[in-house]
Structure 1
Amino acid sequence: MEVIAHREVARLAPENTLATLHACIEQGISWAEVDVRRTRDGHHVLMHDERVERTTTGSGRVAELTLVELQRFDAGSWFSVRYTGLRVPTLREALELTRGRLGLYLDCREVEPAGLFDEIRAAAVPGGVMAVFEPPLDPGMGEQIPDGVRLVVYWDATSGSLSELAERTGCSIVEIGAPAVTAELVAEAHGMSLAVECVTLRQHDAREWWLRCRDAGADWIMTDKPLEARDAVAG
């Protein structure tokens, strides 16, 4: 089992910055989740919120700012004076930094899928990328995903069967909340060549839940405590 650092170990450095990706690499973490949004002029950048106020010195909606405008803002001093001067990175910069060193889980928020896929192809990513989309991809778009990128789709009891979900979306990874994970469900997914990623956030981000997901046979867990979780599931 591997661990995905939710918001790339945001306790170590400012979230969605190259500094945090560097921290993940230095800590030997296998995967990091980042959030992807699109600027007014069509660039993909790392940013969780729709607006920039929480994590930069600027103001406004990401979708209404150009890349040049966005990168004038300081994206590090809100976290610590040590990180003053950091700027909002592009997805391309993140892909180049992590190539062969750290897997990226892309949480794509209100992006245009075809343009994102073109950018990933241009970066010649050899693999080690997962992507989840909000809103979800239209049926059939899964077939356009670049080589080396695996589509993640959330499953719960209202989603229908795993086979229906996979056929409808073209996903190769199902994301399941920790309370819903069972060995039988994981075995069913694996029998259809679907990998399983478990979300262990908030009240479920604890050893009990990490081990439950591991013992059920899940392939990944997503956590805000990647170092602790990694040690727990390795034991």
Structure 2
Amino acid sequence: MTVWDLLLWGILPYVMVAVLVGGLIWRYRYDQFGWTTRSSQLYESRLLRIGSPLFHFGILVVIIGHVVGLFIPKEWTEAVGVTEDVYHVMALGLGSVAGFATIAGVAILIWRRRTTGPVFMATTKNDKTMYVVLVAAIIAGLATTVISVFGPHEDVTYRDTVSPWFRSLFVFQPDIAAMSEASFAFQLHTVIGMVLFIIWPFTRLVHAFTAPMHYLFRPYIVYRSRDGRPSASGGIRRGWAPVGTPDRDRDRARSGRGPR
């Protein structure tokens, strides 16, 4: 085990978690209004309707594949009848489709952002850095998927190296020796992935950690004309309004019930 192995596989993962968690807390506390994708749909929607679903559905399948590959030991899948060869064929099929969908989606989004003036003007340096690291992570992931199936056969695969190392991090006993035996392609993909999570809280990707639970319980949106003319219902507001607000008191007065 070298010093680089210790730094990359024993220290950097915990630095990544500290920056990720600390960055999310800082962003939420001091930049809640910036906790958003900063939607640019008003400027251009045609390419967005194509690129965004491709990227989001592709990346969802990629995440599921990583969860299965990293969290579930090889012995468990073999115990239910999924041999290593079958597993790699499934990983190649789903991983390739999801990977190419993701890269196609992000390519469309980058092209849209570069060629649409107002969208490009709203792109920050952090966003540009994020796109570079994100694309690098996706390409490296596709490369490792192809190499693991079509590359030279090895007795030691990522399920014998990367996966045990990843699981060992949760018990604070990082299996540095296992990760050091992984191929360079998997090591590179892992490092790029950790860099992506380090910069995550400081980019538009932060919206992925938002759980919009309030959308399930918020009232419906009431649209009104600007001229203030009464509606066909006599001007009575039929949406929800917090008790004690001027809107609610005014509506109750119009209906003859008076403020509560």
Q: TM-score, normalised by structure 1?
A: 0.28
Q: TM-score, normalised by structure 2?
A: 0.26
Structure having the higher strand fraction is 1
The structure whose Rg is larger is 2
Bigger RCO of structures 1 and 2 (CA < 8 A, at least 6 apart): 2
